[in-house]
Amino acid sequence: MCGIVGYIGDEQAAPILIDGLEKLKYRGYDSAGVCTNDGEKFIVEKEKGKIEVLRKSTGDGKKISGTVGIGHTRWATHGEPSKINAHPHLSRSGSFAVVHNGIIENYMELKSELSQNGVKFTSATDTEVVSQLLEYYYSGNLLDTVIKIMPMLKGSYALGIMYRENPDEIIAVRKGSPLIIGIGENENYLASDVPAILDKTRNIYRLAANEIAVIRRDSITVYDTDKNVVEKSVETIEWSMDAAAKDGYEHFMLKEIMEQPKAVHNTIAERIKDGKVVLDEIHLTPEQIRNFDKINIVACGSAYHVGVVAKYIFEKILRKPVEVDVASEFKYRNPIIDEKTLTIVISQSGETADTKEAMYEAQRKGSYAIAIVNVIGSAIATDANDVIYTLAGPEIAVATTKAYSAQLAVIYLMAIYFGDILGKISEEDYKNYVSELLALPEKIKLILKKTEDIKNIASKLFARKDVFFIGRNIDYALSLEGSLKLKEISYIHSEAYGAGELKHGTISLIEKGTLVIALATYEDLHEKICSNIEEVQSRGAYVLGIGCENRQHLSHAADSTIFIPKTCDIMLPSLAVVPMQILAYYMARFKGCEIDTPRNLAKSVTVE
């Protein structure tokens, strides 16, 4: 959510800030602004709407003087999108400027206290409380003042702070929401994510929780809340700006759909050696794995849907009970877990607030936590007991595609690895699973070659108002993701149901012309899903079937079909998800939707 960029050096700051914000717009936003210090005063420019509006009003930032500044893209949580509510926010005298990601949960209480002491507020945001607190409690030393107010702020937040009388420094604060410091020569940077500054530097520090960085042109000093200096290790970003560029594609989402063979290959390649799955990065011993009596999976959004697929796979192979929770509900149901429970947390960013809190809850109860994340050094990766990184590369589009596929690949690796340790996989099945896993990238490529055919189907279906996805067993688990992918970028109402549930209420919604997408890849229940297709067709539904190429009679049951290559049953989701992603993309494109940045959504949800 939101984006932060900061710069201090010898160059004009505003153009750098605006360019950095442009690279963060995938995170979702509704307004943007910058603040620079020209050595005498703050210059603030804010606009509601797209960054292009800010670019126009500032001449790409060239109208704004100053070589130090902070910028922000806002995704509204408190107060409507407007110039007044846009960041940066100044204190009452204009001495302090603040940009903020996250939520200050007790801002109303703090605002009331400050108001009673004569402080007047101009915005409806929680962020303004921070700038006003800084001025109210300023003691003559900015670092001391920041450390003083931090305990007053409840919630998860990242802050970029400037003081008008200190034109040679920016203060960065992290408590929950991610922040990185970019290291340059006689210039340094602040950002909420790597793409914002990757064309400027590849060397970064990642701030940990409750760390404060004092950023100057020629130095970066990181402190803890006791004002002790923290020694940080430099991380060098290996991927290039090309990985975060559209590379000729109209949208990042389409590019990332096409990158899935590479994402899956990269995730599995180094973890299969001499025909064996090797997970050297985890520290779990075989004895620990045998001693777990159940598995809990917690995640949000598409990562949660990976967890639902994983439940079917783990229970089939490992024969251990698996519970899957939406992370935002996990800790509030007081889950029954202990040291004999393995908790798997899944998050692309590694910063998802609800997932992070769920992991901490599980750990407090004694559970061992393995994280599946894409971002090295992220909070979840750092705080988990073990981490398995997906190697999908940067994912820019809000709607995940290649990260989802890479997460599925890790689930397959874990299932095979754990199943072997538990003695639940025969030698023949082990070889078959490994063989099919290695074949996935090429089979995904075969589906991608059908893009034009799927585009043609989308051209005939994009005007539908309601869509139902149905499936059984692992197909039902996958239908959840198909439905989400469609609704989040096309704004078409869609729902996913276990096909057997149709007659328990849902079928009353089927009428003439209703689009039903029936997943029919799971061979053991193929006849049953075909019966469900007949049920909805008899009530007027138009059915698009997705099935394996060895089940050609699906083309007789459904009104139109998309076929995928055959693979072992546990890996079917990796193939069947691809046509659903392509279909969603083109239905949204034919509707004229903003595909990479759908309304009201953010790439990384760093607040509860």
- What's the number of CA atoms in the CB half-sphere (13 Å) around residue 518? 31
Report the distance separating Cα 607 and Cα 406, nearest Å.
24
Whether 432 and 319 map to the same domain: the answer is yes
Write the pLDDT tens digit of every residue in 490-543: 999 999 988 777 777 777 777 888 899 999 998 888 788 887 888 887 787 899
User: Confidence band (pLDDT; 50, 70, 90) for 214?
Assistant: very high
Whether 404 and 472 map to the same domain: the answer is no
Compute the average pLDDT of residues 398-420.
96
Q: Are 254 and 390 in contact (CB under 8 A)?
A: no
Note the pLDDT of residue 241.
60
Q: Structure tokens of 534?
A: 């007949």
Place of tokens 């420019």: 45
The sign one gets for the Cα dihedral 597, 445, 243, 272 is positive
Whether residue 606 has pLDDT greater than 80: no
User: Confidence band (pLDDT; 50, 70, 90) for 408?
Assistant: very high
Between 555 and 201, where is the model more confident?
201
Compute the average pLDDT of residues 132-143.
94
Whether 441 and 456 map to the same domain: the answer is no
Whether 150 and 163 map to the same domain: the answer is yes
345 falls within a domain:
yes
Which residue, among 152, 156, 125, has the nearest Cα to 136 in the 3D structure?
A: 152
Whether 384 and 521 map to the same domain: the answer is no
Note the pLDDT of residue 269.
93
- Please spell the DSSP secondary structure of 227-254, one letter per residue: --B-----EE--S-GGGGS-TT-SSHHH
Whether 308 and 212 map to the same domain: the answer is no
606 falls within a domain:
no
Note the pLDDT of residue 599.
77
Whether residue 115 has pLDDT greater than 90: yes
Of 446, 476, 506, which one is at a domain's C-terminal end?
446
Of 209, 238, 267, which one is at a domain's C-terminal end?
238
Note the pLDDT of residue 102.
85
Compute φ and ψ for 121, nearest 5 degrees: -105, 150
Percent of the chain topping pLDDT 70: 96
Note the pLDDT of residue 227.
95
Write the pLDDT tens digit of every residue in 288-340: 999 999 999 999 999 999 999 999 999 999 999 999 999 999 988 889 999 99
If one counts the domains in the chain, the total is 3
Note the pLDDT of residue 607.
52
Report the distance separating Cα 381 and Cα 373, nearest Å.
7
**Max CA pair span of the chain:** 78
The structure's pTM equals 0.80
Compute the average pLDDT of residues 98-121.
92
Whether 427 and 314 map to the same domain: the answer is yes
604 falls within a domain:
no
Q: Which of 195-209, 330-344, 349-363, 437-451 has the highest mean pLDDT?
A: 437-451
SS3 5: strand
Note the pLDDT of residue 309.
97
Percent of the chain topping pLDDT 90: 72
603 falls within a domain:
no
Whether 359 and 481 map to the same domain: the answer is no
Q: Catalogue the active-site residues.
A: 2, 603
Write the pLDDT tens digit of every residue in 551-560: 767 878 888 9
Whether residue 353 has pLDDT greater than 80: yes
Report the distance separating Cα 209 and Cα 178, nearest Å.
9
The residues with which 495 forms a beta bridge, in sequence order, are: 468
Whether 456 and 402 map to the same domain: the answer is no
Note the pLDDT of residue 604.
57
User: Confidence band (pLDDT; 50, 70, 90) for 132?
Assistant: very high
Whether residue 208 has pLDDT greater than 80: yes
607 falls within a domain:
no
608 falls within a domain:
no
Which H or E run contains 100? strand 96-104
Q: Which of 74-78, 95-99, 177-181, 577-581 has the lowest mean pLDDT?
A: 74-78
- Please spell the DSSP secondary structure of 45-98, one letter per residue: EEEES-HHHHHHHHTTTTTS--SEEEEEEE--SSS-SSTTTSSPEE-TTS-EEE
Note the pLDDT of residue 103.
86
The residues with which 103 forms a beta bridge, in sequence order, are: 156
Whether 134 and 217 map to the same domain: the answer is yes
Structural domain of residue 455, as residue ranges?
A: 450-594
Whether 512 and 478 map to the same domain: the answer is yes
Compute the average pLDDT of residues 354-369.
94
Which residue, among 71, 53, 73, 88, has the nearest Cα to 15 in the 3D structure?
A: 71
474 falls within a domain:
yes
134 falls within a domain:
yes
Note the pLDDT of residue 242.
61
SS3 546: strand
Which residue, among 329, 328, 152, 148, has the nearest Cα to 227 in the 3D structure?
A: 148
The answer to whether the peptide bond before residue 88 is cis (omega within 30 degrees of 0) is: yes
Note the pLDDT of residue 337.
93
Q: Which of 9-23, 374-388, 517-531 has the lowest mean pLDDT?
A: 517-531
CATH number at residue 458: 3.40.50.10490
Whether 279 and 203 map to the same domain: the answer is no
Of 426, 446, 466, which one is at a domain's C-terminal end?
446
Q: Are 182 and 201 in contact (CB under 8 A)?
A: yes
Compute the average pLDDT of residues 360-375.
95
Rounded to the nearest integer, the mean pLDDT of the chain is: 91
Q: Are 358 and 325 in contact (CB under 8 A)?
A: yes
